[in-house]
Amino acid sequence: MTLWILDTDCVSLFLEGNQQIGKEAAAKFPDVGITIVTVQEIFNGWVGRINDPSQAHQLVSLYTKLWRATEFFKRVTIFNFNETSQIYHANLLAENKLLAKKRLEKDTRIAAIVLANNGIMVTRNRKDFSLIPSLQIEDWTC
C-alpha cells in the first residue's frame, strides 16, 4: 500500500478549493493523510488571524474557515510525531546541518513523520524537501 502525506501548504491549498489537489486526494483516498505538525500550523495560522484586532471585521469568515479546517481534520488520517518520528528527525538534523535552520523546523518534523510511515511527501516545496535524500516527493499542484 502506498501512503501519501500532504504538507501544510498542500492542505491549505486543498482547504481553499484547489481542484487538482482535491482530484488527486479523492483518487487516492483513503491512503492520503496529514501530520499533526500540519494541524498545529493550520490551527496557529487561523488563531493568529482571529486574534488580530485588525481582522475583527472578518471574524465570521475567519471562524468559518477554522471550522472547515476542523471538519477536514475529522475526516482525514492524522499521523502523530511519535518515537520513531523523533528518531528520524534527530538523524536528519545530525546528518545535514542545513536542516537545522529555524525556517525548516516544521518541514523537518513533517518529513520525519512521512519517513517513519514509509510515505510519499506531497508538496510543491521541492527546494526544501529535496534536502532530505531518502524522502519521496510528489507535487499534485501541476
User: CATH number for the domain including 29?
Assistant: 3.40.50.1010
Contact present, 122 and 140 (Cβ < 8 Å): yes
Judge if pTM exceeds 0.85.
yes
Domain count, the chain: 1
Backbone angles phi, psi at 77, to 5 degrees: -70, 130
Identity at 26, one-letter amino acid code: A
Given this model, what pLDDT does residue 107 score? 95
* Torsion of the alpha carbons at 77, 116, 39 and 69, rounded to the nearest 10: -30
Model confidence at 104: pLDDT above 90: no
pLDDT digits (tens, 9 = 90+) for 5-52: 999 999 999 999 999 999 999 999 999 999 999 999 999 999 999 999
Lowest mean pLDDT among 42-46, 61-65, 127-131, 135-139: 127-131
Confidence label for 142 from pLDDT (cuts 50, 70 and 90): confident
Q: E strand or H helix at 138, and its extent?
A: strand 136-138
Given this model, what pLDDT does residue 122 score? 99
pLDDT digits (tens, 9 = 90+) for 116-134: 999 999 999 999 999 998 9
Domain of 44, in residue numbers: 4-138
Report how far apart the first and last C-alpha atoms of the chain are (Å, whole number). Answer: 24
Average pLDDT, the chain: 95
Confidence label for 86 from pLDDT (cuts 50, 70 and 90): very high
DSSP letter for 31, please: S
Lowest mean pLDDT among 79-88, 97-106, 107-116: 97-106
Confidence label for 100 from pLDDT (cuts 50, 70 and 90): confident
